[in-house]
Amino acid sequence: MHADWISYLSTLELSPHTPTDKQVILAPLSHLAVLTVSGKDAANFLQGQTTCDIKSLLDSKPGLGAYCNAKGRTITTFIIIKQQASFQLILTSDLVETVSKKLQMYILRSDVQLTDQSDSLCITGLSNVPLSAQASLYPYPQLDNSFLFIGNPDQSQLFWPELIQQQSLSLICSNAWLGLDIQAGIPWLYTQTSEEFVPQMLNLDKLNAISFEKGCYTGQEIVARTHYLGKNKRAMYQARCITETDIPPGCTVTDHENTALGTVILASQQGSTTQLLVVLKDQAVNTKNLQLNNQNHDKIILN
């Protein structure tokens, strides 16, 4: 993130908890960053690299998608925003450099430019806001009455005080916002979980993040085979854990005999309860003694 934006956020009191009522919420999404894909061949290039149908995207109406390796394993998930001839991929800042390097390998002679805008653009999440989409403000996929504001540090530092003056707001941190993503089933990936799961294991087919009609893209054969042959033996679930210990992405889920049954994708600590997204093997769903493979062997409960 840009130093000026970090400095501004340090002056605010950001709650670590998501409000339980329908308060207006404002959050800096510091776990996310923007990778811009531009050039006259950008649409065709992304069509051949991502799971979503790039050509069906509407300007300024975000969608969800994934970028896979040749074995159909998800390198990253993303929110994608079309802006005329260019596209903004919003993904975890943890993976921007990795994804940029991998995409660069496929550009060859195409007129495509990749721009890491981690420092030049700031991402804000708003929820329960009586607003409509406008310049730099986009509907947040899967979350009702929620938006993304994307602007440079100066624009963001003007937007926040203006909104705060107009409305009674709950200011929350990025980890608290992840609680909303968990409730919506949006599976953000980090280095620990990248290239571990085919998209269906992350329920991306249920989020309309996979097109099965658009044609070939990297990893498409595996993704299609999983879809049409029904050989997906893992899926993602919401869960909770009574603990105040940080739970990192990639933490293993086991049974009481320490048999590995799944993986933590996302965690959002809310007081003594931590909300989770976990990918589990089929047989784990009926296992009563699921626990984390951490120091305390904290038990988890599926929602």
Name the 3-class secondary structure at 55. Answer: helix
Do 43 and 170 fall into the same domain?
yes
CATH number for the domain including 238?
A: 2.40.30.110
pLDDT at 132: 67
Task: Indicate whether 216 belongs to any domain.
Answer: no
Burial class (CB in 10 A: 0-12, 13-18, 19+), 124: buried
Task: Indicate whether 25 belongs to any domain.
Answer: yes
Do 167 and 289 fall into the same domain?
no
Do 117 and 240 fall into the same domain?
no
pLDDT at 192: 98
Can you tell me which residue has the tokens 């963001």? 156
Task: Indicate whether 202 belongs to any domain.
Answer: no
Do 180 and 301 fall into the same domain?
no
Q: Which two tokens stand for residue 96?
A: 């921007």
Count of domains for the chain? 2
Do 34 and 141 fall into the same domain?
yes
Do 175 and 247 fall into the same domain?
no
Domain limit, last residue, from 126, 152, 184: 184
DSSP track, 207-263: TT---SSS---TTHHHHHHHHHHT---EEEEEEEEE--S---TTPEEE-TT--EEEE
Do 37 and 122 fall into the same domain?
yes
pTM metric for this prediction:
0.94
pLDDT at 232: 79
Q: Which two tokens stand for residue 43?
A: 């649409």
Domain limit, last residue, from 184, 218, 253: 184
pLDDT at 22: 83
Using CA atoms, how far apart are residues 30 and 1, in angstroms rounded to an integer?
A: 7
Do 247 and 155 fall into the same domain?
no
Do 239 and 143 fall into the same domain?
no
Do 179 and 71 fall into the same domain?
yes
Q: Which two tokens stand for residue 250?
A: 């990639």
Can you tell me which residue has the tokens 């007129």? 111
Do 239 and 298 fall into the same domain?
yes
Do 12 and 146 fall into the same domain?
yes
Domain limit, last residue, from 169, 184, 199: 184
Task: Indicate whether 196 belongs to any domain.
Answer: no
114 touches 36 (CB < 8 A): yes
Task: Indicate whether 43 belongs to any domain.
Answer: yes
User: Strand pairing partners for 50?
Assistant: 67
CATH number for the domain including 65?
A: 3.30.1360.120
The stretches in the chain having pLDDT less than 70 are 132-134
Task: Indicate whether 203 belongs to any domain.
Answer: no
Burial class (CB in 10 A: 0-12, 13-18, 19+), 302: middle
Rounded to a whole number of angstroms, the CA Rg of the chain reads 19
64 touches 210 (CB < 8 A): no
Domain span at residue 92? 3-184
Q: CA dihedral in degrees (172, 178, 183, 185; nearest 10)? A: 150
Q: What is the pLDDT of residues 187-226, one digit of tens each?
A: 999 999 999 999 999 999 999 999 999 989 999 999 999 8
